[in-house]
A and B are shown apart, each in its own frame.
Chain A
């Protein structure tokens, strides 16, 4: 089986500094692929390059097609949808308008699926999204991305800055999506939860992939445990 997403030799530079030095990894359809690593390792840069919002060199193949260099809207249309770090909800739009941004003009009746999954969003739908709590904003960001009908969902630290109880909810949602067969690339600082959920995982450090294996293998690895699991 060829992977749904194949990234090869990805290089990103910010001015004179190269942040990614040839990153290669793959994500299979129907699986959760985790990218873990310390602050500044290059996880967000990797996702940003895949979504086409920063220039990059290297190859990015999605479903057999080369999408490197395509504009972000074409990448979204092809089915790669990102829930970015910090959620990036549109604070001056209502909750429902944020969801409509995911729908992009398709029939409003599809909103029902989002409200079913996150009933709190239905209650808050007429509020400005900026008035939501952090956890609610994360739900909104995920719901909005799902409405874009992703064939591949990129999640950048969905648990960042949330209370433990909310983190648990977010991961329950992700587990649920996995059961439904949604393909995901999950970037996380919360390595323990990410590895438990992941089918395959990659460890990044200083702009390179330094290790990979199944989620279980990395969970049992002593080096990973010491560095990322605080054990």
Chain B
């Protein structure tokens, strides 16, 4: 039981890191960045590259994955979103262009690495198992959970207590007011993409560490989950996305534990059913802004 809860928190942490970046871009620009799974996958590959080619330790590789995917996020914005923004295109076109971008990058990676699993160099990841009571917990996941929590704490500090963070929130709430207050919009948007993609990339690297399996399509299953988690948490609310992520993680593991083995296929149905229930009870999401406030 403790082991299952531990797993749920681990999965929830990965969902949270992924979803928080997705929600950040949505809150600032009102667009769904369908290329978010790409940065997730690239994060894992960057870490792999650092470790297998340069022999860097996993922790250091994760930092480089954050920086590299963050920079890639700025590039992604320049290619897929900025041109549409300049022309005042509707949010739907941004969705399509990011989807196109994602497909191109994933295919290129498949060409280079093949569609199959790649794994990290042998012995590059800690294999320690900690015994707490009768639960055997894998130390690597413990580190990953801790890291995810630290990263989300840092993000909270950044958006609440730094001027750049406030600029991003101002831009999210009221672009015209933000510009009149002297917010450098290009810089705020570039920072948004850097952070969003950096978090996505780190999530990918960490998931890669935990499952030791990386492949070009590895981000794809997370996209729909991140979208759901964001809607349930409250469109564009960062704490809401985190909360939704942990609920989904716990819901999935609960389904695994409580459903009989021959119904294990229903695991997603159960988890999503739970989220649906939340929405029925609270249509604006758990921590969403009241509609009147957004108007």
> Real complex partners, A and B?
yes
**Bound-complex Cα distance A147 to B149 (A):** 35
Interchain nearest-CB distance for B290 vs A (Å): 9
Task: Please pick, from B169, B176, B184, B289, the residue contacting A73 in the complex, using a CB distance under 8 A.
Answer: B184
Give the number of residues in A that approach B within 8 Å (Cβ atoms). 26
The answer, among B173, B176, B181, B182, for a CB contact under 8 Å with A91, is B173
Q: How large is the interface on B (under 10, 10 to 19, 20 to 34, 35 or more residues)?
A: 10 to 19
Listed in ascending order, the chain A residues whose CB lies under 8 Å from chain B are 51-53, 71-73, 76-77, 81-82, 84, 88-93, 97, 100-102, 104-105, 130, 144, 148
B contact set with A: CB distance below 8 Å: 163, 166-167, 169-170, 173-174, 176-177, 179-185, 289, 293
List the 7 closest A-B pairs by CB distance, nearest first: A76-B182, A88-B177, A105-B163, A72-B179, A73-B184, A73-B182, A101-B181
- Nearest-CB residue, chain A, relative to B162: A105
Q: Which residues on A sit within 8 Å (CB–CB) of B169?
A: 90, 92-93
CB within 8 A of B177: which of A81, A90, A130, A148? A90
Find chain A residues with CB under 8 A from B289 CB: 92
Residues of B within 8 A of A89 (CB): 177
B174 is contacted by which of A81, A82, A88 (Cβ under 8 Å)?
A88
Contact A100 B166 (CB under 8 A): yes
CA distance A20 to B179 in the complex (A): 22
14 residue pairs of the A-B complex, CB under 8 angstroms, read A51-B179, A53-B176, A53-B179, A73-B183, A73-B185, A88-B180, A90-B173, A92-B169, A97-B166, A100-B166, A101-B170, A104-B181, A104-B182, A148-B181
A100-B163, A104-B163 as given contacts; A93 in contact with B183, CB under 8 Å: no
Complex Cα distance, B29 from A203, in Å, reads 39
Given A51-B180, A84-B177, A105-B163, CB of A91 within 8 Å of CB of B185: no
B60 to chain A minimum Cβ distance, whole angstroms, is 31
Q: A77-B182, A93-B173, A100-B166 are in contact. List 12 more A-B contacts (CB 8 A).
A: A51-B179, A51-B180, A72-B179, A72-B182, A73-B182, A73-B185, A88-B180, A90-B177, A91-B293, A92-B173, A148-B181, A148-B182
Report the minimal beta-carbon distance from A53 to chain B, rounded to whole angstroms.
5
Asked if B170 and A84 sit within 8 Å, CB to CB, the answer is no
Choose from B166, B176, B184, B293 the contact partner of A101 (Cβ within 8 Å): B166
Chain B residues with Cβ below 8 Å from A92 are: 169, 173, 289, 293
